[in-house]
Amino acid sequence: MVDDEIEFEAPVFTSCACCGNRSTHLVRFVTRRGNAFAVYYADFADGHDMVSLIASVGDWSEDLGAASRRTAFAMRLWVDGDRYQVGLVDAAESGYSDGFLGHILDRNEALAHPLRQEAFDLSDHAVACDRPVIEFLDNQPRGG
Ligand SMILES: [Zn+2]
């Protein structure tokens, strides 16, 4: 795995729009070799069975207009048996809009995008070392 550093911000709790359960919002800034490189958000609500992850890769400098040089990949994480699964979803399913995170790709665009592997590296980081994400996924009911 590449040598990235992740800054773990404190979680923000809200209520899920669909069920009112506690919803957790995580913001992670990722630095590679000292440079701001990517950001991902993870959102999940108690009682739901997946984590929504949006990973934005590109220019995370403070430059004006940097957001236009970012590309965002909308993903979901879930558990199947003992394994973490990840899948790309369409922009409309991400819960976010183009803007700060850059242009959010639809699934088909994401699958063909040259930065696709960066997005999967970030989801790998999330399931390897992002404790609230891991705890949520590990507390999912097993079997069936
Ligand atoms: Zn809900």
Share of residues in the chain with pLDDT > 70 (%): 97
The pTM for the full model equals 0.93
Residue 31 CA, ligand 1 centroid: distance in Å: 32
44 neighbors 133 (Cβ within 8 angstroms): yes
Residue 83 CA, ligand 1 centroid: distance in Å: 23
In this prediction, residue 35 carries a pLDDT of 86
Question: 46 CB contacts (<8 Å, ≥6 apart)?
Answer: 16, 21, 22, 23
Residue 98 CA, ligand 1 centroid: distance in Å: 23
Residue 77 CA, ligand 1 centroid: distance in Å: 16
Residue 134 CA, ligand 1 centroid: distance in Å: 19
> In which band, very low, low, confident or very high, does the pLDDT at 70 lie, cut at 50, 70 and 90?
very high
Residue 34 CA, ligand 1 centroid: distance in Å: 37
Residue 89 CA, ligand 1 centroid: distance in Å: 18
Residue 133 CA, ligand 1 centroid: distance in Å: 16
pLDDT tens for each residue of 30-61: 998 888 889 999 999 999 999 999 999 999 88
> In which band, very low, low, confident or very high, does the pLDDT at 2 lie, cut at 50, 70 and 90?
low
User: For the chain, what are the domain ranges?
Assistant: 4-138
26 neighbors 9 (Cβ within 8 angstroms): yes
Residue 143 CA, ligand 1 centroid: distance in Å: 22
Does 83 score more than 70 pLDDT? Answer: yes
Interval 55-80 mean pLDDT: 94
> In which band, very low, low, confident or very high, does the pLDDT at 142 lie, cut at 50, 70 and 90?
low
Please say whether the dihedral angle defined by the alpha carbons of residues 54, 59, 61 and 64, taken in this order, is positive or negative.
negative
